Structure 1
Amino acid sequence: MTTDPSPGSGEPGAFAPLRRSGFRWLWPAIVVSYVGFWGQTVGAQWLLVNGPNASVTVALIQTAATLPMMLFTLPGGVVADRFDQRWIIVVVQTYMAVGAFSLAVVTALGLASPPVVLAFTFLLAIGTAFQIPAWQSSLPDIVPRDELGAATRLDMVGVNFGRAAGPAIAGVLIGAAGVPWVFVLTAATALILAGTLLTWRRPARTLAPPARERFLPALRAGVRYVRHDAMVRRILLRAVLFIAPATILWALIPLVATERLGVDAGAYGALFGALGLGAILAALTVGRLRGVMATGTLLVLSGLLYAVVLAILVLVPVFVVALAALILAGAAWTAVISTLNAELQFVLPSWVRARGLSVYLVTFTGSQAIASILWGQLAAWTGVVAAFLTAGVLLALTSVSGVLLRMPDVRDADPRSMPFWGDVNVPIEIQPTHGPIVVSVEYRVPAADDAAFLATTADLRRSRLRNGASRWELYRVAETPEVFVESFMVDTWEEHQAQHRDRLTAADQRIEAAVQAFVSRPPQGRHLIPPTMAASPADSPDAPRRRRPRPRTRRAPR
């Protein structure tokens, strides 16, 4: 596995991932699916635009399309970590194709009432919530580690292309053939992606796949990992600090177009086209910029540029100026979002990667949803100009705060799987769901090394907790002060076995090596279990074996 390029070394070119046959084969199909998704949203809105309470029902389409992202993305991440991501996407796309075609039939029959359209939109968005974690978590298996940033930016380009092209194509189809054909297009794009995945040969795994975890314990394990990993928490915090003020542009750009610029529908589409062009510009340039500046510097400058654009849009109500400003906004948005996404993938180990990305997506979507409501209320009270200027000032402040909230150096992360604990050997059989299990490790430390040893155990605590421990404690033995006893609890025997087998990484190995550098003799470990889990005398290997009676058989009546 390659290492993260350091500042000054640069990244591979913007299109380097396309040299990989897997990415070159799959990325166009993913982009086509984005076109179908955004086209379906526009088709659903068009069905309702002339109906009763149109302002409410049309707005509810966006709610129906985004709410599943908050509700189902994390379960989707659990599924993506438990099963083959390729087959997950194939199943999801088949489901979406059936759903979109069914909506086309319902629409053609004149049965597309507002509740029906909203229900279909919600159901289709559930598929997207399961697809995104599976797709994004599979990128490290498709491209090398040093090309993850470029691959993520190309994916963002695909999203923005779909956001622009999907509505445009839907508009043409609605005018030429009617709304049902928009949903047929959505079904066709889903089948294209499913068919592409079926014909793609995934590279062979270098490591055995992790054992399949039960759903709820896997869900808790993913949340626990994010909670106790300092690098992941810092990335999520930086995402919230950017998205919360920056999302005002996506929420209120219709008001800027109508109230400040006074443009028609065609020009309004051009504004979104400018945002998409900015995303392409970011894909072409961000890799080179990372060769001359650190990640934190790139995020600060991109946030400040976006803040300036927010002010320009409302203070200089000129259409051409707005187009130029939105190109810069699209570039800054893509630079920040794709960089944070790539940094997250650098630090997440494979066993929890999809769940970690799902937490990021839930954070992203939730921040957008909540901030959009707040910015809308502020604009209603103070006007669009005041709301945009407030968001710009806030974004400038949160961007500059990045100087203090420094991004973690992903070169310190080494998420390679490294099962250095070996197998668990105990003389009794323990059922997988039994627990809790307390692991006790005894360290003998010379008095002169007390302070240094205790300093290293802070990292050890975080390592244990993020890998499955629900509680961690460290004690000193009063009778022998040079002896320390580490104790951590794992909920079930199954989860402790997963620690041994799948969850340990090279970074965890370095942490344990640092702790053991101060130990005068090898640590002694024990597994403590509840007394009711002990083997019964009949199960003991030393117990006399009783001969089981043979089952009696009855003779058949003559």
Structure 2
Amino acid sequence: MSSAPGAEAAPGSNPTITTTTRPTAPAGLTASAKRHMFSSLRNRNYRLFFTGAMVSNTGTWMSRIAQDWLVLSITGSSTAVGITTALQFLPMLLFGLYGGVIADRYPKRKLLLVSQASMGLLGLVLAVLTLSGHVQVWHVYAIAFLLGVVTVVDNPTRQSFVVEMVGPKDVRNAVSLNSANFQTARLIGPAVAGVLITAVGSGWAFLINGLSFGAPLIGLLLMRQEELHQVEPTPRGKGQLREGLRYVASRPELIWPIVLVGFIGTFGFNFPIWLSAFAHGVFHAGASTYGLFNTAMAVGSVAGALLAARRTATRLRMLVGAAVVFGALEMVAALSPSMYLLAALLVVIGVFGITINTTANSTVQLATDPAMRGRVMSLFMMVFVGGTPLGGPVVGWATDTYGARVGFLTGGLVSAAAAAAVGLAIHWTARRTQATT
């Protein structure tokens, strides 16, 4: 999940859009330290967070692969896979902004203890249902929806907690390392899941996922609270949701990244649908090939995240350019004649996909007043992942009706077109601002 225009603006200001942010180095911070790829890991609390996340992220990826393959095995339908994905993200679309209000109102560490424990419990319930042979597709739907409800609070809380652990000067690095963490787990999880599903079935992947949440819980409990850069919780009051929306609406440096990731998240990130359909319907292969595709994409994502961790400033046009290339690569990948060429293209798609993610995420965090960060990040995540309930079934239907290639091609086309439109809008806004000053 770099900086963007307005990232260094004072709270309450309404800065103009520029193409580059070059923050001043904090006192005592040398250029080499700024560029240290793993600088955030010097912080003990963040090390605990990072380690726990690595374990639970691996379990999460195992569960995702097992869940998609289980639904496809039960129903034989890519639409059903799309519905599962949609149900998991529907609560974010419906209630995402309220999660941000909660994240701003209560201590984030305590909220994360509750949310992570809840996710682990749901993983164990799905494991019991599957291992006992009683699982039905509606069980998977229900648990996916409940996971989405927990994510409504967990996601903005976890995103904004990063700044409290490492402080503003390391937030770009920490966001990038979080992405590298998640994508490294994506290398391990699908491979292990593919072996487990083939050997003993999906239930063991769900069991490992449920147990893996013990790691972040232990990490949160061991943190030194006095070392956190804690933000005073926002008192309960009327109109806090509207206040957050007005805050974003008045700041172009927040609006454009959020609009762009909304289109990309809705139409360009439906990989569970496309890749399971390519493995099953195009190349007539099994779960191991689906795991291979996810692993290939994760290789690129890890590389992209580590490159992002070295950046100290980013250009807004990098975000737009990466999104254009991302969409174009998806269109090329849709026409791949072999699974190995598709896997190679997925590596490059992973690089550009994670560049979009890290640039937009840190852009929005750094441009936001700390007291508003939970609400702003909830809007960011609601738009980014909450669009999936709208795009998932549509993309799943297109994939079932016209084939995996057409579904993938459509997602890439929409992503590239949206990026080009946002780029033109940013250029036009900048020129209009310059003309009036």
Q: Confirm whether residue 353 of structure 1 aligns to residue 373 of structure 2.
A: yes
Match of 1:144?
167
Say which of 223, 240, 243 aligns to 1:221.
243
Cα distance change on mapping 1:265 and 1:110 into 2, 3 Å = closer
Aligned-CA RMSD value:
3.6
Match of 1:368?
388
Cα distance change on mapping 1:119 and 1:311 into 2, 3 Å = closer
User: 2:305 and 2:180 mapped to 1: Cα distance?
Assistant: 7
1:53-64 → structure 2 map (5 Å cutoff): 59-64=82-87
Contact 1:38 1:162 (C-alpha < 8 Å) held by counterparts: yes
SS at match of 1:13: coil
* Structure 2 residue identity aligned to 1:313: A
Contact 2:99 2:378 (C-alpha < 8 Å) held by counterparts: yes
Contact 2:327 2:416 (C-alpha < 8 Å) held by counterparts: yes
Contact 2:46 2:165 (C-alpha < 8 Å) held by counterparts: yes
**Once the 2 structures are TM-superposed, how far is the Cα of residue 287 of structure 1 from its aligned partner?**
4.8
1:60-459 → structure 2 map (5 Å cutoff): 60-174=83-197, 179-204=202-227, 209-214=232-237, 217-247=239-269, 251-257=273-279, 263-288=285-310, 294-378=314-398, 384-385=404-405, 388-389=408-409, 391-406=411-426
Contact 1:256 1:314 (C-alpha < 8 Å) held by counterparts: no
**Once the 2 structures are TM-superposed, how far is the Cα of residue 397 of structure 1 from its aligned partner?**
3.9
User: 1:265 and 1:208 mapped to 2: Cα distance?
Assistant: 45
User: 2:417 and 2:82 mapped to 1: Cα distance?
Assistant: 31
Query: How many pairs does the alignment contain?
Result: 407
**Once the 2 structures are TM-superposed, how far is the Cα of residue 139 of structure 1 from its aligned partner?**
1.0
1:504-523 → structure 2 map (5 Å cutoff): none
Cα distance change on mapping 1:7 and 1:364 into 2, 3 Å = same
Cα distance change on mapping 1:283 and 1:8 into 2, 3 Å = farther
Q: TM-score, normalised by structure 2?
A: 0.79
**Percent of pairs identical after alignment?**
25
Higher strand share: 1
Contact 2:58 2:186 (C-alpha < 8 Å) held by counterparts: yes
Cα distance change on mapping 1:346 and 1:388 into 2, 3 Å = same
Contact 1:248 1:375 (C-alpha < 8 Å) held by counterparts: yes
Identify which of structures 1 and 2 has the higher relative contact order when contacts are C-alpha pairs closer than 8 Å and 6+ apart.
2
User: 2:349 and 2:233 mapped to 1: Cα distance?
Assistant: 41
Higher helix share: 2
User: 1:302 and 1:78 mapped to 2: Cα distance?
Assistant: 31
User: 1:378 and 1:101 mapped to 2: Cα distance?
Assistant: 33
User: 2:99 and 2:81 mapped to 1: Cα distance?
Assistant: 27
Give per-residue Cα distances to partners, 1:24-68, cap 9 Å, x unaligned: 221121122222233334445566555577766555432332223
Cα distance change on mapping 1:7 and 1:82 into 2, 3 Å = closer
Give per-residue Cα distances to partners, 1:171-196, cap 9 Å, x unaligned: 44456666544333223211221111
**Once the 2 structures are TM-superposed, how far is the Cα of residue 243 of structure 1 from its aligned partner?**
3.8
Contact 1:38 1:167 (C-alpha < 8 Å) held by counterparts: yes
Give per-residue Cα distances to partners, 1:255-274, cap 9 Å, x unaligned: 44456556554233212111
User: 1:54 and 1:400 mapped to 2: Cα distance?
Assistant: 33
Cα distance change on mapping 1:196 and 1:224 into 2, 3 Å = same
Residues 27-36 or 233-242, more deviating: 233-242
**Once the 2 structures are TM-superposed, how far is the Cα of residue 340 of structure 1 from its aligned partner?**
0.4
Unaligned runs of 5+ in 1: 410-454, 457-558
SS at match of 2:225: coil
Unaligned runs of 5+ in 2: 1-6, 10-20, 26-30, 430-435
User: 1:23 and 1:207 mapped to 2: Cα distance?
Assistant: 14
**Once the 2 structures are TM-superposed, how far is the Cα of residue 223 of structure 1 from its aligned partner?**
2.8
Cα distance change on mapping 1:82 and 1:241 into 2, 3 Å = same
